[in-house]
Structures are given as C-alpha cells and as structure tokens.
C-alpha cells in the first residue's frame, strides 16, 4: 500500500530527497517517491550555499530538478530553507572590508536572496521554512534566541524581516518557523512565545515545523503528544518536517547489522508515534520523513560515520517492519 493513501484525509506524507535520488525518473528511487509521498523537500538544494554561493550568483540547477520532479508528479513541494545559521556562505555576514555587515547590508542581501529564490518558485512551493533553528539549543543556554551571526547583527528583528520578505515574494506560500527538539519544554515554550509575539505584531507566520529527529528511546511518545498540544492555542498550522528515528541512544555505539529486536522496537515506536499524529491530525498538515531509505540517510554521517536504520525502507528500498507498522497498525 501507498503511505500517502494510508494517511489521506489526515495529513500529507512526505520525504526529503537529494537530487541524485530523483535525477532518473525511471529509477527505483524515483518510483518509490512517486508511490508513497505527496510532499517533497530538497535535502540540501534550496539552502543558501546551494542557491547563492557567491553574492548575486544564483544557481538553481539542482533545485529545479527536484521542483520539476515534484510538479511533474503532482507532489506538493516544500521549501527548505531561507534563513539559517548553517549552510550559509560567510560572505552573507561580512562587508568588503571584512568587518561584520551592518544591519542594512544584511537585510539588503536577505531581501535579494528571498525575492530571487521564493520568487522563482512562486506558486510551485506551497510552504517555506523561512527561518530554521533560531532558538538556542536547550543544552547550551536554556531559552532565548540562538546567538547566530543573524542575531548578532540584527537581533530578533531578522526573523520579522525574513517573514515579511518571504510574504512579499509569494503571498500564497505558507510560511513556517522550523526547529528541532521542539518537544523540550524550555525550548518549546520559548518558541511558542516567540510565535505569539510575532503574530501580535502582524508578522505572517503560518506554521511551526517540528523537525522531529528522534532516537529509539527518547523523546517519549507522550512528549511528542505534548509538543503538538503546546502549539494548539496559537491557531497556526503544524508540520512534522524532518522525521527520522536513530536506532542509537548515544554517539558511540555502532552496529554492523540491524538487530531484529531493535527492528521490532522501532516499528512499535513508529506506530505509537503515528497514533499521536493521527490524534492531532486537525493540527498537522504534513508529516515528512528526512529521507526515504536507510542508505540515503544523513544519520550515516551525523553525528558520526556509522550504520543507522532510521527510516521506513531499507538500503535496498525494501519495506521494513516500521513501514508495515504504519500501513497495518493492528
């Protein structure tokens, strides 16, 4: 069965891909994407370092391939991401003299970038991660905004500008604030209050994106339930934008093969988590996996190089127990 059909009427079911996975539309990889998913995210190809590596020099070769693949196959395309501290070229933050850019220079570059990228895909990309990971990670400084170069130059206002520019460039796109560990109570509360503040000022924030890179044990399912629940009162859309489930509980273990008991544990946990998503389907417009199969997962290089099996399909694109747990939850 097709995953998107299983969840039809509840939320879109999506995946991230890298361009090489869909380059050949007749490949098994492309076939799998078409069969199971109705939302698509570019894993890297729409990030700043990919689209504007040098000032004013835009390159959309790879991004176009993914967007065109989505359009050709009736798949809704998500945009990831416009303003982020990572995978953003250094030149964005410095002037010609090598000093930190002024606010004005930073905003001019931000506007040019957003106009060009969002404008190019106007009407094709239904949702944008306008800002990504702007909340300080709870393990460093609880609460507060991340002390990125964006923040150092412009303070909280850079977030407002990013949303305003994106809205100008495509008034119909749904604009998201995206972050990880949004189940963490301190981080979650700060994010919640930030969105509330932005909305009170009339900033066009349409939704919150929960990346949801989780492990085989944590966060507990109840914490994911609380995560969605916590944003209900804001009257915004919610999406799970980057779901995957590492089979590890630390950065040092590494398995040669995927132990059967963990395969079963993973399947059961995925089933319980999707029960929560289903329960909140009035809040959630999409659930998107960060990759489709265990070969093409960023978790084989992050946080360290090792085997990992975080997704629904294995290295040979065969459906795992985790897949069957979702299509046949009984």
Q: Which residues in the 298-317 window bind ligand XIL by CB under 6 A?
A: 298
104 is catalytic: no
Residue 113 CA to residue 94 CA, distance in Å, equals: 15
226 by Cβ neighbours in 10 Å (0-12 / 13-18 / 19+) ranks as middle
User: Of 94 and 298, which has the nearer Cβ to ligand XIL?
Assistant: 298
DSSP string of 64-101, one letter each residue: HHHHHHHHHTTPEEEEEEEE-SSS--GGGGB-TTSSBP
User: Of 205 and 267, which has the nearer Cβ to ligand XIL?
Assistant: 205
CA distance readout (Å), 294 to 44, 231, 290: 17, 31, 11
Rg (CA), the chain: 19
User: Of 101 and 287, which has the nearer Cβ to ligand XIL?
Assistant: 287
Q: Which of 266, 256, 252 is nearest to 321 (CA)?
A: 266
Among 15, 39, 88, 132, indicate the residue that binds ligand XIL (CB under 6 A): 132
Angle subtended at Cα 118 by Cα 114 and Cα 122, rounded to the nearest 5 degrees: 155
Among 29, 242, 244, 293, indicate the residue that binds ligand XIL (CB under 6 A): 242
133 is catalytic: yes
Give how many residues touch ligand XIL by CB under 6 A: 6
Q: Least distance in Å: CB of 132 to ligand XIL?
A: 5
Among 38, 39, 183, 211, indicate the residue that binds ligand XIL (CB under 6 A): 211
Q: Which of 21, 52, 133, 160 is catalytic?
A: 133
49 is a site residue for ligand XIL (CB under 6 A): no
43 is a site residue for ligand XIL (CB under 6 A): yes
Contact residues for ligand XIL, defined by CB under 6 A = 43-44, 132, 211, 242, 298
């Amino acid at each position: 069965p097709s995953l998107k059909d299983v969840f039809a009427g509840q939320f879109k079911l999506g995946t991230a891909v890298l361009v090489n996975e869909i380059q050949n539309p007749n490949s098994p990889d492309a076939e799998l994407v078409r069969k199971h998913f109705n939302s698509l995210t570019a894993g890297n190809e729409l990030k700043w370092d990919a689209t504007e590596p040098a000032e004013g020099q835009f390159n959309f070769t790879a991004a176009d391939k993914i967007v065109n693949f989505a359009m050709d196959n009736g798949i809704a395309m998500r945009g990831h991401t416009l303003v982020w501290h990572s995978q953003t070229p250094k030149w964005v933050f410095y002037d010609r003299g090598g000093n930190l850019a002024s606010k004005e220079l930073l905003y001019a570059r931000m506007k040019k970038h957003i106009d060009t990228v969002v404008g190019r895909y106007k009407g094709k990309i239904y949702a944008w991660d306008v800002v990504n990971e702007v909340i300080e990670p709870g393990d460093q400084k609880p609460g507060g905004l991340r002390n990125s170069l964006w923040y150092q130059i412009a303070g909280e206002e850079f977030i407002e500008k990013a949303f305003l520019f994106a809205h100008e460039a495509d008034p119909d796109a749904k604009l998201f604030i995206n972050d990880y560990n949004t189940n963490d109570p301190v981080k979650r509360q700060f994010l919640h209050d930030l969105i509330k503040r932005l909305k009170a000022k009339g900033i066009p924030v349409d939704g919150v994106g929960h990346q949801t890179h989780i492990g085989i044990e944590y966060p507990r399912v109840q914490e994911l339930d609380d995560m969605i629940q916590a944003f209900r009162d804001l009257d915004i859309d919610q999406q799970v934008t980057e779901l995957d489930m590492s089979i590890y509980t630390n950065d040092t273990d590494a398995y040669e093969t995927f132990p059967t008991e963990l395969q079963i544990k993973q399947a059961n946990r995925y089933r319980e988590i999707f029960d929560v998503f289903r329960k909140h389907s009035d809040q959630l417009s999409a659930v998107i996996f960060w990759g489709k199969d265990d070969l093409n997962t960023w978790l084989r290089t992050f946080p360290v190089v090792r085997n990992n099996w975080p997704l629904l399909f294995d290295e040979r694109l065969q459906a795992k127990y985790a897949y069957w747990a979702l299509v046949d939850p009984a």
